[in-house]
A and B are shown apart, each in its own frame.
Chain A
């Protein structure tokens, strides 16, 4: 990939940067197409034109209700949660220099799930109606999200302390994540043990991870947090690039390494907590999304962060569409699909290292 003769170095570089942005733009177009498809398929099939006309021209009747009350919140929940988890994953992978890092593999999601379950059952911040998947209704999003955040922060702090003081290897860090995940799963089981049969069944369903239960209010809260986090990550993209070059290099380039690491991890935990509080645990999106995009656009966070936003959205949207269609009319929770897809990839990354991934 040398510089062609006659072309100025800066022009060659501008072309290189342009190609990266073109890829992100193309992926965004693919995401839009996938979104239209996802809205149109289901028990009531709608054509692309019907979807577009209901979306942009309004209208009444069944189609309007199906799209605006059922499919659109579901679609947006998948897009926002996928983007949030994926950016959280790419930031965590950089901050802890760990290719296996993600909210799920660090036990952050499980911590958040425990916090949310605790808030719903013990603090009564949610109501439980029956044992179906949408049986848990979050009445107090602030309490549930707050408790989920506290749970996720415990895992984050443990991982940060291990990095700071024990200087553990990336693989050992994942083992610590497994330990934290198990601890919080056990804690969630403890909450369930003292709950009624219906409560137990609903919490189990709830932890599966399902974008179908999101209301417009949930979508709005997730969007605000996700957009804020994405902007924060973009603002720090040069700091993240500097961190990839090593801590000493980053410090000499003016990066406050400790501050960037702590703030980034806490913000990523908050995004995870909000997603888990409303949708349950959706594993591996935060791992797979950034990895696929790293292959496509490289490790430069100027491109990796926006690409992860699009990639994570696309990944969760495709997974959810598969979950809805694979054994239709039964709709599977998307968390099951992402885990089936993510676990083999996790093993693949484990056998390789950061390089070449």
Chain B
């Protein structure tokens, strides 16, 4: 077990957004968080990362309680890819180098530069490494931000809708990279996704949220027409196409 989330409860301005969220994630697995808009997916990711402080509950990574760690230490255990990236104007190289911030004392070391260099090559970003991030495409930017989280060398990677605003080729590429990295580095990823079919194709575990509560949690058997109806309020059928399960929404 690499990640254990124990009884998280969180609320904005008196309203409860997350209620008693409890789940665990094994090493080398990709977990998809599903649910309609406003179900609490982003809030849950932020609570796991400590960007938001849950009212109750604890997050353990490799059995270590994150609440007892400094912010810098947490950043060595958890990498977070936010949904929206702000207006930073650094180069691609510098943006990824920023992921080494938890390790930098006064200045970057050769090791930091080496790690960034390797990651840039792994992600195929060599040709844009000295471009400013406002000059690159959406797909490239998403890869850069994932790379930034990776150079933190975290145990758990959290990604908030990483395929938003990407074309289908980039969606597949980004998910494939996540899957590969998780397997290679023996880490785990928690990915909030809107596209259930993308989740079915790349995730191993599923967590469906509804109104801030866990509706269902588990493997492929979690994705049933009943759960989809309860989570999204739509009728759907699950078919198999070339041995790949597909969720097909039905007109009702």
Instruction: Please state if A253 and B130 are interface contacts (CB–CB under 8 Å).
Output: no
A10 and B113 within 8 A (CB): yes
Taken together as a complex, chains A and B put the C-alpha atoms of A54 and B187 apart, in Å, by 67
Task: Pick from A2, A238, A244, A254: contact of B74, CB below 8 A.
Answer: A254
Identity of the chain A residue whose Cβ is nearest the Cβ of B121 in the assembled complex:
A9
Pairwise interchain contact B114-A10, C-beta atoms closer than 8 A: yes
Q: How far is the CB of B152 from chain A (nearest CB, A)?
A: 7
Contact at B94–A300, with CB atoms within 8 Å?
A: yes
Is the Cβ of A245 less than 8 Å from the Cβ of B86?
A: yes
B129 touches A298 (CB 8 A): no
| Interface hits, A304-357 → B, CB 8 Å | 354-355
Q: Which residues of A contact B (CB under 8 A)?
A: 1-3, 8-10, 12-13, 16, 97, 235, 238-239, 241-242, 244-249, 251-256, 298-300, 354-355
Task: Name the residue in A242, A251, A354 with the highest tally of chain B Cβ atoms < 10 Å from its Cβ.
Answer: A251
- Greatest chain A CB density within 10 A among B46, B50, B120, B129 is at B129
CB atoms of A254 and B71 under 8 A apart: yes
Evaluate contact between B84 and A255: CB separation under 8 angstroms.
no
Nearest CB of B to A164, in Å = 15
A245 with B98: in contact, given A254-B71, A299-B89, A355-B134 (CB under 8 Å)?
yes
Cβ contact of A245, chosen from B50, B88, B91, cutoff 8 A: B88
B180 interface hit (Cβ, 8 Å):
no
Contact B114 A298 (CB under 8 A): no
Task: Please give, as numbers and ranges, the residues of chain A lying within 8 Å of B78 by CB-CB distance.
Answer: 252
Residue of A nearest to B158 (CB): A252
Interface 1/0 per residue, B54-85 and A, CB below 8 Å:
00000000000000001111110011101011
The residue that B89 contacts in the complex, of A244, A253, A254, with Cβ under 8 A, is A244
CA separation between A248 and B85, bound complex, in Å?
9
13 residue pairs of the A-B complex, CB under 8 angstroms, read A8-B117, A13-B93, A13-B129, A16-B91, A238-B98, A246-B84, A246-B86, A248-B82, A251-B51, A252-B78, A253-B101, A254-B71, A254-B73
Q: Which residue of A is nearest B132, CB measured?
A: A298
Q: How far is the CB of A233 from chain B (nearest CB, A)?
A: 14
B161 in the interface (beta carbon within 8 A): no
User: Is B95 part of the contact surface with A, judged by Cβ < 8 Å?
Assistant: yes
- Please give me the residue from chain B that is nearest to A255 by CB atom: B71
- Residues of chain B contacted by A10 (CB below 8 angstroms): 113-114, 117
Q: B82 to A256, Cβ gap below 8 A?
A: no
In the assembled complex, the Cα of A192 lies from the Cα of B149 at a distance in Å of: 57
Taking a contact as CB atoms closer than 8 A, the residue among A2, A97, A241 that contacts B98 in the complex is: A241
- Contacts A2-B126, A299-B88 aside, 9 further interface pairs with beta carbons under 8 A come to A13-B113, A16-B91, A16-B130, A251-B50, A252-B75, A253-B102, A254-B71, A254-B101, A256-B71
A16's closest neighbor in chain B, by CB? B130
B-side residues, CB < 8 A to A, are 46, 49-51, 70-75, 78-80, 82, 84-91, 93-95, 98-99, 101-102, 104, 106, 113-114, 117, 120-121, 126-132, 134, 145, 149, 152
- List, in ascending order, chain B residues with CB within 8 A of A254's CB: 70-75, 101-102
Instruction: Please determine whether A238 and B71 come into contact, CB atoms closer than 8 angstroms.
Output: no
In contact, A253 and B99 (Cβ under 8 angstroms)? yes
Q: In the docked arrangement, what's the CA distance between A245 and B98, Å?
A: 9
Q: How far is the CA of A238 from the CA of B106 in the complex (A)?
A: 9
Distance (whole angstroms) from the CB of B159 to the closest CB of chain A: 11
* With contact pairs A254-B71, A355-B134 given, residues A249 and B127 touching in the complex (Cβ less than 8 Å): no
Q: Are B104 and A246 in contact (CB under 8 A)?
A: no
| Distance, CA A97 to CA B74, complexed state (A) | 25
A295 to B192, CA, bound (A): 38
Chain B residues in 8 Å Cβ range of A248: 46, 51, 80, 82
Asked whether A9 lies within 8 Å of B51 as measured between CB atoms, the reply is no
Residues of the A chain whose Cβ atoms lie less than 8 Å from the Cβ of B91: 16, 298, 300
CA distance A2 to B86 in the complex (A): 24
Q: Given A253-B75, A253-B98, do A12 and B130 touch, yes or no (CB 8 Å)?
A: yes
Q: How many angstroms from the CA of A246 to the CA of B46 in the assembled complex?
A: 14
Q: A332 → chain B, closest Cβ, in Å?
A: 36
| Interchain CA distance A97-B86 in the complex, whole Å | 10
The residue on B at minimum CB distance from A251 is B51
Which of A8, A239, A252, A355 is B82 in contact with, Cβ under 8 Å? A252
Of all chain B residues, which has the CB nearest A1? B130
Chain B residues lying within 8 Å of A13, measured Cβ to Cβ, are 93, 113, 117, 129-130
A186 to B113, CA, bound (A): 54
Residues of chain A with a CB closer than 8 A to B152's CB: 253
Residue of A nearest to B69 (CB): A254
- B73 proximity list for chain A (CB < 8 A): 254
Kindly report which residue of chain A lies nearest to residue B46, judged by CB atoms. Answer: A248
Cα of A13 to Cα of B120 in the assembled complex, Å: 12
Cβ–Cβ < 8 Å partners of B130 in chain A:
1-3, 12-13, 16
